[in-house]
Amino acid sequence: MPKYVWVSGIVALVVSFGYFQQSTLPSPAPTFYKDVLPILQDHCQSCHRPGEVAPMPLVTYEQTRPLAGAIAHAVEAKMMPPWFADARFGHFSNDPSLTAHEISTISAWAAASAPAGQTSDAPPPKQWTDGWNIAQPDLVVKMPKPVPIPAKLNTRTRSCPQTLRWIAGSGCRSFAPEVRPTYTMRWSIYVRPIHNGFDMHLSASLSRHPP
């Protein structure tokens, strides 16, 4: 009888020791294709892709790897993605803010020297509407006249469509090809119903990127 007790004790000791070893193994570092790219697709590439307003695309590993430290700093400080609505007054469905887990994933990836991982882990490329950050619009309202762009700009303009419509979303677009890669644009759109349509106010601020 003591023999069987002794054998059982050894098995229990080995199992416990193995569990302790397994539980103390370090977690693998996040990789670009598996962990970081999905975050960029969902929260960053609406602006950070070729032809858009952000000064650098974050679509490929080669584009993103040199900026890993700067990206980690920006998300840790919650400077990016930009979002200025006050959380005390409710949640907005288009809020691009990162979760605490997403921020820690990017930080850990940058701290581990930004490993690429396996390309087979990458999600499918995000499909974007050409020229817009929203779905293809049903109505495009242009400024009444062109607006000259000095080094710094803060201007307001107004247009009034005369047809009653439901507005599900809105976006701003510069149709001058030389503007998009050179300037960062921050738009604010205010739409209010009036008796024969909608009164739309647009304010824009722009800053020029170094050549």
Angle among Cα 56, 59, 62 to the nearest 5 degrees reads: 80
- Grade residue 100 by pLDDT with cuts at 50, 70 and 90: very high
Write out pLDDT tens, residues 24-40: 567 899 999 999 999 99
φ/ψ of 86, rounded to 5, equals -80, 115
Predicted local confidence at residue 41, as pLDDT: 96
Mean pLDDT for the chain overall: 75
Domain boundaries, the chain: 1-124, 132-211
Q: Whose CA is closest to 49, among 39, 64, 62, 59?
A: 59
What is the predicted pLDDT for the residue at 1?
A: 47
In the predicted structure, residue 23 carries a pLDDT above the cut 60: no
pLDDT classification of 185: cutoffs 50, 70, 90: low
- The predicted model scores a pTM of 0.67
- Lowest mean pLDDT, pick from 66-80, 81-95, 131-145: 131-145
Q: What pLDDT was estimated at residue 150?
A: 62
Q: Among residues 10, 43, 51, which one has the least CA distance to residue 182?
A: 51
Q: What is the reported pLDDT for 6?
A: 43
Q: Are 78 and 72 in contact (CB under 8 A)?
A: no
